[in-house]
């Protein structure tokens, strides 16, 4: 059996990916620092679902600790590394920038060093749809230029892509960057819209609706995200033979085994429709507090997933109605069942 390192296993996507890999018979070593950005008990409860599953080992330390990361790679040999640990959140980056430097930049360099020194076969890492920033061309494509991020969070994710390319070029380390689009579902993050809105509606509190509801998001269900990740784990990037240097493609490289993919639903939903579906699933109306657009936010996201479809046959299968119904059922069971 292969040994796969998954960072951020106490997090939303990392938890689901670890579970899927274990079900497929892989050995998974998870790493997480259980930081208190949101409820640590939720993170511990996710890990409890993995604890005791055959092939799973969980380690707790901070990836910004260079010595700890070096020791991990010296003591274990990984066939694949999926790096999902990060300091998340656009708005939090406005008031806590140093957390993003430590978790998203320092930790990523440490991981890149570990991968190249131990000759890891493939590094997949989380980027974000936020890198598209001020880009107005829709749908967002990995072939578009993304040099105008609107938050420090987005800038660190763009930096990760550039750092990965450098290591792919210098050391021929195959790297694949994954630009996730607004992921939701059971065991989701409490700072995301589905969780925030559901909690407020059940508690009969107003929900904050930014930009007065004039927003669209490519909401992507967690099972679709996991399917794409599992499908890509053995798809190693290669240098692009037909790379046109006069019109460089940001998603690939003429010298490096480097690739970028969007992972989204390929169907943006209006925020108002998202709320209406959630109200139907819960069986209650939301009280709405309309606010201006927040600094760092973008009005619309829309993923072009044609490369992902071409390379692994990926198409999302979960509608917003199905996905929110699954989430609300989980929320009731986790928070409201005595």
Q: Output b/e per residue, 103-131; b: 16+ Cβ within 10 A.
A: bbbbbbbbbbbbbbeeebebbbbbbbbbb
SS3 233: coil
Whether 265 and 309 have beta carbons less than 8 Å apart is answered as no
Containing 178, the helix (H) or strand (E) segment is strand 175-180
Whether 279 and 202 have beta carbons less than 8 Å apart is answered as no
Whether 263 and 110 have beta carbons less than 8 Å apart is answered as no
Q: Which two tokens stand for residue 189?
A: 């993050």
What is the rounded distance in angstroms from the CA atom of residue 277 to the CA atom of residue 265? Answer: 16
Burial of 259 (0-12, 13-18, 19+ CB in 10 A): buried
What is the rounded distance in angstroms from the CA atom of residue 207 to the CA atom of residue 275? Answer: 10
The catalytic residue among 37, 125, 153, 331 is 153
DSSP 285: P
Q: Output b/e per residue, 171-202; b: 16+ Cβ within 10 A.
A: bebbbbbbbbbbbbbbbbbeebbbbebbebbe
Containing 315, the helix (H) or strand (E) segment is none
Active-site residue, 171 included = no
Parallel, antiparallel, or unpaired: how do β-strands 80-83 and 216-217 relate? Answer: unpaired
Q: Which two tokens stand for residue 135?
A: 């880009």
Using alpha carbons, select from 165, 171, 77 the residue that is nearest to residue 120: 77
First to last CA, the chain: 40
Q: Name the residues annotated as catalytic.
A: 153
């Amino acid at each position: 059996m292969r040994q796969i390192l998954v960072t951020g296993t106490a997090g939303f996507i990392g938890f689901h990916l670890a579970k899927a890999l274990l079900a497929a018979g892989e050995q998974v070593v998870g790493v997480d620092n259980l930081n208190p950005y949101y409820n640590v008990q939720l993170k511990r409860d996710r890990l409890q679902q993995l604890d005791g599953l055959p092939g799973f080992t969980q380690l707790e330390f901070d990836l910004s600790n260079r010595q700890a990361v070096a020791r991990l790679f010296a003591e274990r040999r990984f066939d694949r590394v999926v790096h999902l640990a990060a300091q998340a959140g656009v708005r939090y980056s406005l008031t806590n920038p140093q957390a993003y430097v430590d978790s998203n930049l320092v930790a990523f360099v440490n991981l890149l060093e570990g991968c190249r020194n131990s000759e890891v076969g493939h590094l997949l890492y989380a980027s974000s749809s936020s890198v598209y920033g001020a880009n107005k061309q829709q749908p967002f494509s990995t072939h578009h230029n993304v040099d105008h991020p609107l938050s420090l969070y987005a800038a660190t994710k763009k930096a990760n892509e550039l750092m990965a390319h450098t290591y792919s070029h210098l050391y021929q380390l195959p790297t694949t960057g994954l630009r996730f689009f607004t992921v939701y579902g059971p065991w989701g993050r409490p700072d995301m819209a589905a969780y925030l809105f559901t909690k407020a509606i059940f508690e009969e509190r107003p929900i904050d609706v930014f930009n007065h509801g004039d927003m669209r998001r490519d909401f992507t269900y967690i099972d679709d995200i996991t399917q794409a990740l599992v499908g890509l784990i053995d798809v190693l990037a290669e240098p692009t033979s037909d790379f046109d240097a006069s019109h460089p493609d940001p998603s690939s490289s003429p010298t490096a085994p480097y690739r970028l993919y969007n992972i989204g639903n390929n169907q943006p939903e209006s925020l108002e429709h998202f709320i209406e579906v959630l109200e139907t699933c819960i069986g209650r109306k939301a009280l709405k507090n309309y606010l201006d657009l927040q600094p760092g936010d973008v009005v619309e996201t829309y993923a072009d997933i044609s490369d992902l479809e071409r390379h692994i046959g990926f198409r999302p299968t979960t509608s917003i109605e199905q996905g929110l119904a699954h989430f609300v059922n989980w929320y009731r069971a986790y928070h409201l069942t005595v």
